[in-house]
Amino acid sequence: MINKEITKEVKKSKKAAPEKKKILFVGSEVLPFAATGGLGEVLGSLPKALAARGDYDVRVMMPYYSDIGEQYRNSAKYLCNYNVGLSWRNLYCGLFELKQDNVTYYFIDNEYYFHRDGLYGFYDDGERYAFFCKAVMDSFYFIDFMPDIIHANDWQTALIPIYNNSKYHYDIKLIFTIHNIEYQGQYDLKILPTVFDLPPEAGAYVEYEGCINLVKGAIETSDCVTTVSESYAKELEDPAFAHGLQDMIKKNNWKTRGILNGIDAEGYDPATDTAIAHNFTSTDFSGKVQDKLELQRLAGLREDAGVPVIAIISRLVAHKGLDLITKAMENIVRNCEVQLVVLGKGDRKYEDYFIWLQNQYNGKVSAMITYNKDLSRKVYAGADMFLMPSKAEPCGLSQMIACRYGTVPIVRETGGLRDSIVDCSYGEGNGFTFADYNPDDMANAIYRAIDLYYNNPEGWDKLRKYISTIDFSWAKSADKYDEMYSWLLGR
C-alpha cells in the first residue's frame, strides 16, 4: 500500500515538472559559423544564454553558406532533403544538424543560393531569403519539432511571420527583432507572387509607399516586435531614425519593446583571451600596460606607456560618426599628447582620410585599413580610450567590449550607446558622452577624457578597473527575453 502511494507521488511530481519552452531562432548569420556584424554576434550568444537556463529547448536555423568553416561542415550531420515550393519553382533543400552548447543548429542547404563568395549583396537576395524562409516553415515535419515561438531577425527573415499569416497558419507565436531598420527588404510590387510566392491579399501587409516592404510586413504580422535597446525602440518613432517606417512603429508600439543586447563575457575576457599578448584582470592591470606597448609596436606608433591611445574600431561609414571625426580629429592629434589607432574598412573617402592623417602625424596615428577579429582584440586590450560617436546606433557591442578590456568609451548618446554608457564627469559613470551630433561636442568629450587621464591618474585607474567589472553578459538580457517569451505564451 505504501509503495503504491509512493508511486502515485512520483507520478504526480513528474507531471508537475514544467515543460520546456520550445524556441526557434531564425537568422541570416550566426557566430561562430558565418557572420558580418552584430546580428551574428546576437544569434551566436542569446540562444546559448537561454539554453543555459535549463527551461528552454533552443534551436537555430541559418543558411548553409560556403563561407562556413570546414571544422563545422565536417561536424554537421546530414538529416534529409526535401523540395521547397516557391511560386513556379520546385527547389532542392538539404538539411544539416549540429549540436553544441546545449543548442541545436540547423543549416538550410541549396548550392545555387548559398554557395557563393560572401553572404549578401547579390542581385537575387530577395529570392534567396524567400527560399530560406519557406524552407524553414517546411522543415518542422522533418526535424520533428514544432516551436512554441519563432524568433525572426531583420529583413532576411521578415517573411517568416508574413508566410505564417498568409499561408501556413501554424499555432505558434512570432517575434520579429529589428537590429537595423535601415535595411527593409524593399522590392517592386509586381514580383509579389513570382519571387515571394505571396497571394494578392498579402499586399495589405507588405505594401508600403507603393512597393513591397518586408520589414513593414513583419511588423504588422508578428505577435511582438523587439529592438536591440530601449532607446532605439523609442527613436524608431522619430523620422530621423526610422527610415520611413516611423508610422508603422507608432501604430504597433503596443507590441514593441527594446531589450539591450549583451556580449559573450567568456569569449571577451582579458584574463583568458588567447588573441592578446598579455592577459590581465580587473584587479591586476599590469598586463594591459604590456598590451599597450605591444599595440604601439604593432601599429607603428611611438612606444610610450604614458601617452593615451584612442582607438576606433568601426565600419568607416558616415552613420558611425566618421564625418564628425574627420572635422575634429586633426586638431586633437596636433594639439594633444595623444595617439590614435583606427581599425576598419568602409567608404574610400574615410579610408583615404585616415591614411592621410597617418602620413601627416607619423608615430602618432596608425590607419589599419582592414578588419581582423584577433587584431581588434589587440586594439581593445591595448588602447586607453574607445571612440564611438555614432549618428545612430541600434545597440552597439563595441562599447561593451571596450569596457570589458578596461578601455574607456567615448560615445554619443544615442540608441544602445545611451543605454549602456553613462557620463562619469559629474559623478558615477562608465565613460564620456555627448548628446548633440556636432564635432565640437565630440571633441569636448575627448578632451575631458584626456584631462582625467593626465591630471587624475588615480581616478583614471579607478574608472578603467570599474568598467571592466560591469556585467554586460547575455545572462541579464536573457532574463528579459525570458520574461517576454513567458508573457507571449501566457506562462
Assess contact for 277 and 388: CB atoms under 8 A: no
Q: What is the pTM of this model?
A: 0.89
- 56 three-state secondary structure: strand
**Tens digits of per-residue pLDDT, 275-304?**
999 999 999 999 999 999 999 999 999 999
d(CA 439, CA 470): 29
Three-state secondary structure call for residue 105: strand
Q: Which triple of cell numbers denotes residue 222?
A: 508578428
Residues 173, 224 contacting (CB under 8 angstroms): yes
Walk me through the domains of the chain, giving residue ranges and CATH numbers.
Answer: 10-262+475-489 (3.40.50.2000), 286-470 (3.40.50.2000)
pLDDT of 175 reads 98
Pairing of strands 21-26, 186-187: unpaired
* Pairing of β 309-313 and β 339-343: parallel
Residues of the chain with pLDDT under 50: 1-2, 6-7, 10, 13
Query: In 228-359, which ranges are E strands?
Result: 256-258, 309-313, 339-343
* Closest C-alpha to 211, from 195, 225, 223: 195
Write the pLDDT tens digit of every residue in 48-99: 999 999 999 999 999 999 999 999 999 999 999 999 999 999 999 999 999 9
Measured at the CA of 270, the angle between CA 453 and CA 387, to 5 degrees, comes to: 45
All three cell numbers of 325: 571625426
Residue of 63, 134, 141 lying closest to 105 (CA atoms): 63
Q: What does the block give as the cell for 44?
A: 551566436
Q: What pLDDT is recorded for position 16? A: 56
Q: To 5 degrees, how large is the angle CA 470–CA 474–CA 476?
A: 70
pLDDT at position 17: 60
